[in-house]
Structure 1
Amino acid sequence: MYINPISKGSTNRYFFLLEDTLYTTSGDTVFIISYRPKKDKTFDGLKGFLHINTNGYAIQSVVAEPLEKDFGMMVSIKQNYEFVNNQQWFPKELHTEIIFDNVLKASQNITYQMVAVGRSYITDINLNPTLSSKDFSQVEVKILPDANEKTDVYWNENRSEPLYKKDSLTYVLIDSISKAENLESKLAGYEAIINGSIPYGIFNFPINKIVDYNNYEGWRLGLGLMTNKKLSRVFEIGGYFGYGFNDKDFKYGADLILTIHKKSESKLHFSYSNDVTEKAGYSFFEKLDLTTTELYRKFIISNMDKVDIQKLSYSFRAFNYLNTKIYFSNEIFESTDGYSYGTSVDNAVNRFTFSEIGIQFKYAYHEKFMQTQKYSYSMGTDYPVIYGNITRGLNLYNGEFEYTKYELKLSQTFRIKTLGKTKLTLVGGLVDGEVPLSKLYTGHANNHSFDLDAENSFAAMQMNEFYNDRFFSIFFRQELGSFFRIKNYAPKFILASNFGIGEIDFNPKHQSLETIQSMNKGYYESGILINNILKQQFIGIGFGAFYRYGSYSYLKTADNFAYKFTCTINL
């Protein structure tokens, strides 16, 4: 994220220089002003030009590009405005140029760049349209399914500029290079990594069903597939199987998804799985992707229950920004760590059956999306995102326990101009009723030897150190930017601080080989992360350290430290 050179307080960070003065035919004056970060500043800054028209002292044109290349890529933009109907300045043209370094290697010492040029034009401007909220969609950018199949007639009718011979030859050359270097397959590979599945014909192959890892299963190999829209836009059907080399056990499952109404994203989902899941874990109605490091936590989970789950769910979108899932499930949990549940050790069992009905929701006000030919990508929102779960355990369909669970998560990312990006996440949960440990809450730790940093988890807390039937956690991160820059080398610093508190009521039915303790005294930790110490293209590798303190700190100071690698994907 870059600091806007015309934002409030920018004169303290940017150097501005009047380069030239022009005069228009209408009698207005245009000042051409260059800008760049001041020499003593180390923030992520831009450089370029501003054209200021004395008619309202408005921006007539702006040119901007990063001061330094980032991850082998340079993006520059030029936006022009016009004075519409002698009333209002309004955007007219947007030119974008993206330069990728070292895309093609001709020899040991010679590489070529790839330059992508985009031009957008706004026409038929109406300053006072009659519109309502229903006329606007959450989709900010949409690429039509047949966009790459339009005829020359269509493009000639809609092209703002003529197609010159140089342009035609460029298309031919790019097409030849694409075939020679297999660029389409490479781009498909990047898209597969981002979306978590590999498309091939009428099937999608989920990557995490082919290969995965966690400390309980070790390496897990298998195969999974789901039909895609090439077979049917109404249904998806598929299944998977896998084998863990550490727990030496097979897992398998099947899914059937019916699309009831595309516009409202209404889907009916039947699923069955014989698999494993984290003991006392929690999750929300969200898909963790490469934009968050939170997904790295799954690699170090070491305590899992075997599960056999039958589930029927119905999901839909309502009121534009509310995603909801209603479900019924029958679940059999089997403890694998020696834990059992009963009035005494002699009659305690480690296998439990739960029947649940529940609702999950996600509310992201003003969330925007980009719709491509295959996938939909969230562009985020400037407002807090709220997730919630309400679950009711029933004595039906062999269910053995009656209980109610409430879980809530609030996440907000915002930018403090003088500091950088701030991330704040609040999470809480409550179980009302007596249930085995599998349906309570772990402390959500992320500490096992030297591992990857994962946000929204406790970096210095040991795995399964705490169990709670009610808890509240705060996860805070503040990006500070780069304190120094040496050419393209500019590591980014982040401060982090986490807090958690919880309680567990005494229940003599818990029969555990390990002591069960809650974090009722309050758990505290803070740390610092340095991202992008090493970087290659879009991937940055760094290092970090956390320190736990307060009532749950260890007597030996060195034991309170937890050290992390950081891996960030800069898309």
Structure 2
Amino acid sequence: MCFNICNGQNPKQEEKVKDSIKKKTFVKSLGNGFFPTQYFNFDLRYLIKFNQYEGVRTGIGVVTNETFSKQYRINGYTVYGFRDHRFKYSIAAGIRLAPKTDTWLNFTYTDDLQETGSTKFLTDGRSFQFFEPRLLNIDLFHKHVTKSISLEHQLFNKIATKTEFSISKIDPTYRYTFTTLNTALSNFRITMAKTSFNWSPFSQFNDSKSGSKETKIGYPKFTLQYSKSIKNAFKSDFNFSKIDFRAIHKIVFEKDNYSEITLVSGLANGDTPITHMYHAYPNNINKETILHRFSVAGLNSFETMYFNEFFSDKFTTIQLRHFLKPFNISRNYKPQLVLTTRYAIGDMEQPEKHQNITFGSLKKGYTESGFEINKLLFGFGLSFTYRYGAYHLPKLTDNVAFKFTFNLSL
């Protein structure tokens, strides 16, 4: 009867410890964007969003967890846009081929929208933010119906890879025609092969039966991706290639006092439609006054650059953010000042091929600088950014972006 007590184990204390662990696990799942249940987790990314094309976008996503199976996974979502009155959805299934190298073979079918000029790195995988500020202002999307097969593989501890083959039907939601001497296309097919490498040379990893897990994030981190569109394969209309590169570095001076440097570069070669060109992460609404443009600042976007102002077939951006030590006003109120500078340069060789859409070139180099004061109230703060240099506009107020910021984590 006294065995547990004699060994220093109090049943009530054990229950409290177990409850505490469960609560921490639950909160961690929410922070990663999941509401967990026994066999599957609800994906919170799809609950509610807003953009300029769909208006309110709401839906639900689910993914099976390891209780359901450690070898198989199924995930999907369905959403509805109240402004375009259209359902979008995706369904995917994966099979784990080798647990030690975390090798997965995946099959996906997607009918959804994608922002024109955006580039996604395959190895980035899933990301979650409680609030995606830049999404509010995006208005240039293209519809796509995509079938894909992909292979994820941990090549080495510090190198993750993903390769994908996809077939897409693409239909821009805006007036657009790609023209050459023999072709004029307003919607098109693209058959694409991609391979992506994510290298974390200074991170620390632990090996287990379920694969290699990153236990300590080290910097710099590098991502390289190569894409090839294959003309005539499964009726593909284009033959072009893209190479994309990203480097992220973090310099820590002391706790909560550090600098982040992000370099992103891309090059498209061959006849490439505007849907697969590059923008430079703009986040400024095309409206007359500062107050009308008042919105929410993004995390890695150009706050004074107007949406659809520039497109490039080659570009490079450098973003510098320096986080000063938070102001210790009280135990629970510690606003933080962040200094920002961003630079972009790019160009397009044959802009005349892209009809019914107007945009400029970044070949002179685009510069903006400013600051943020974060966590002023309930995760919200303020930012001020000023555009200067070669693309400074004649009207002074058109060069200014004054916005909310939002930073919240569990």
TM-score tier by shorter-chain length is 0.7 to 0.9
Residues 126-173 of structure 1: per-residue CA shift (max 9 Å, x gap)? xxxxxxxxxxxxxxxxxxxxxxxxxx99xx8xxxx98547x5554456
Match status 1:385 vs 2:229: no
Take 1:299 and 1:258, find their aligned partners in 2: how far apart are those partners? Answer: 35
Q: CA deviation at 1:421?
A: 0.5
Take 1:445 and 1:328, find their aligned partners in 2: how far apart are those partners? Answer: 29
- What residue is the counterpart of 1:481 in the other structure? 325
Superposition TM-score, scaled by structure 1 size: 0.64
Residues 349-372 of structure 1: per-residue CA shift (max 9 Å, x gap)? 321111111101111123246899
Structure 1 pair 164/186, CA: closer, same or farther in 2 (3 Å)?
A: closer
- What residue is the counterpart of 2:382 in the other structure? 543
Match status 1:558 vs 2:397: yes
- What residue is the counterpart of 1:205 in the other structure? 42
Take 1:506 and 1:401, find their aligned partners in 2: how far apart are those partners? Answer: 16
- What residue is the counterpart of 2:60 in the other structure? 223
- What residue is the counterpart of 2:191 in the other structure? 355
- What residue is the counterpart of 2:366 in the other structure? 523
- What residue is the counterpart of 1:286 in the other structure? 124
Counterpart of 1:456 in structure 2: which amino acid? Answer: N
Structure 1 pair 230/375, CA: closer, same or farther in 2 (3 Å)?
A: farther
Residues 38-83 of structure 1: per-residue CA shift (max 9 Å, x gap)? xxxxxxxxxxxxxxxxxxxxxxxxxxxxxxxxxxxxxxxxxxxxxx
Q: Which of 287, 290, 300 is residue 456 of structure 1 equivalent to?
A: 300
Given that residues 288 and 295 in structure 1 are in contact (C-alpha distance below 8 angstroms), is that contact kept between their aligned partners in structure 2? no
- What residue is the counterpart of 2:277 in the other structure? 440
- What residue is the counterpart of 1:255 in the other structure? 92
Given that residues 259 and 266 in structure 1 are in contact (C-alpha distance below 8 angstroms), is that contact kept between their aligned partners in structure 2? yes
- What residue is the counterpart of 2:290 in the other structure? none
Match status 1:424 vs 2:267: no
Q: CA deviation at 1:487?
A: 5.7
Q: Which has the higher contact order (CA 8 A, sep 6+)?
A: 2
Given that residues 443 and 464 in structure 1 are in contact (C-alpha distance below 8 angstroms), is that contact kept between their aligned partners in structure 2? no
Given that residues 308 and 359 in structure 2 are in contact (C-alpha distance below 8 angstroms), is that contact kept between their aligned partners in structure 1? no
Q: Which of 130, 134, 142 is residue 305 of structure 1 equivalent to?
A: 142
Take 1:487 and 1:419, find their aligned partners in 2: how far apart are those partners? Answer: 15
Q: Where does 1:336-375 land on structure 2 (aligned, <5 Å)?
A: 336-343=173-180, 348-368=184-204
Residues 269-311 of structure 1: per-residue CA shift (max 9 Å, x gap)? 1101011000111122214646x89954333322100001011
Q: How much is the aligned-residue C-alpha RMSD, in angstroms?
A: 3.1
Q: Which of 330, 336, 341 is residue 492 of structure 1 equivalent to?
A: 336
- Unpaired runs of at least 5, structure 1: 1-151
Q: CA deviation at 1:335?
A: 0.9
Take 1:419 and 1:211, find their aligned partners in 2: how far apart are those partners? Answer: 31
Take 2:37 and 2:105, find their aligned partners in 1: how far apart are those partners? Answer: 24
Structure 1 pair 200/490, CA: closer, same or farther in 2 (3 Å)?
A: closer
Q: CA deviation at 1:376?
A: 9.6
Q: Which of 110, 114, 119 is residue 273 of structure 1 equivalent to?
A: 110
Equivalent position SS for 1:460: strand
Counterpart of 1:457 in structure 2: which amino acid? Answer: S
Take 1:193 and 1:456, find their aligned partners in 2: how far apart are those partners? Answer: 23
Structure 1 pair 294/252, CA: closer, same or farther in 2 (3 Å)?
A: closer
Q: CA deviation at 1:216?
A: 2.1
Residues 95-150 of structure 1: per-residue CA shift (max 9 Å, x gap)? xxxxxxxxxxxxxxxxxxxxxxxxxxxxxxxxxxxxxxxxxxxxxxxxxxxxxxxx
Q: CA deviation at 1:198?
A: 2.2
Equivalent position SS for 2:202: coil
Equivalent position SS for 1:558: helix
Match status 1:399 vs 2:248: no
Instruction: Return the index of the structure with the highest Cα Rg.
Output: 1
Structure 1 pair 173/436, CA: closer, same or farther in 2 (3 Å)?
A: closer
Counterpart of 1:196 in structure 2: which amino acid? Answer: G
Given that residues 262 and 318 in structure 2 are in contact (C-alpha distance below 8 angstroms), is that contact kept between their aligned partners in structure 1? yes
Given that residues 309 and 329 in structure 1 are in contact (C-alpha distance below 8 angstroms), is that contact kept between their aligned partners in structure 2? yes
Equivalent position SS for 1:569: coil
Q: How many equivalent residue pairs?
A: 399
Given that residues 99 and 211 in structure 2 are in contact (C-alpha distance below 8 angstroms), is that contact kept between their aligned partners in structure 1? no
Take 1:564 and 1:375, find their aligned partners in 2: how far apart are those partners? Answer: 42
Take 2:400 and 2:51, find their aligned partners in 1: how far apart are those partners? Answer: 23
Take 1:351 and 1:496, find their aligned partners in 2: how far apart are those partners? Answer: 39
Q: CA deviation at 1:420?
A: 2.1
Given that residues 95 and 104 in structure 2 are in contact (C-alpha distance below 8 angstroms), is that contact kept between their aligned partners in structure 1? yes
Given that residues 453 and 565 in structure 1 are in contact (C-alpha distance below 8 angstroms), is that contact kept between their aligned partners in structure 2? yes
Take 2:278 and 2:16, find their aligned partners in 1: how far apart are those partners? Answer: 58
Residues 534-565 of structure 1: per-residue CA shift (max 9 Å, x gap)? 25xxxx32111111111212212122111222
Structure 1 pair 250/412, CA: closer, same or farther in 2 (3 Å)?
A: same
Judge which range, 256-265 or 558-567, deviates more: 558-567
- What residue is the counterpart of 1:314 in the other structure? 151
Residues 438-477 of structure 1: per-residue CA shift (max 9 Å, x gap)? 1111121122332322222211111111100000000100
Take 1:293 and 1:197, find their aligned partners in 2: how far apart are those partners? Answer: 11
Counterpart of 2:85 in structure 1: which amino acid? Answer: K
Take 1:302 and 1:207, find their aligned partners in 2: how far apart are those partners? Answer: 23
- What residue is the counterpart of 1:470 in the other structure? 314
Counterpart of 1:526 in structure 2: which amino acid? Answer: S
Structure 1 pair 551/259, CA: closer, same or farther in 2 (3 Å)?
A: same
Residues 369-428 of structure 1: per-residue CA shift (max 9 Å, x gap)? 6899x9998555332100111011102111111111010000011213499210000000
Take 2:405 and 2:213, find their aligned partners in 1: how far apart are those partners? Answer: 24
Q: Where does 1:23-422 land on structure 2 (aligned, <5 Å)?
A: 164=8, 168-171=11-14, 187=24, 189-284=26-121, 285-287=123-125, 289=127, 296-343=133-180, 348-368=184-204, 378-395=214-231, 396-417=233-254, 420-422=257-259
- Unpaired runs of at least 5, structure 2: 286-292
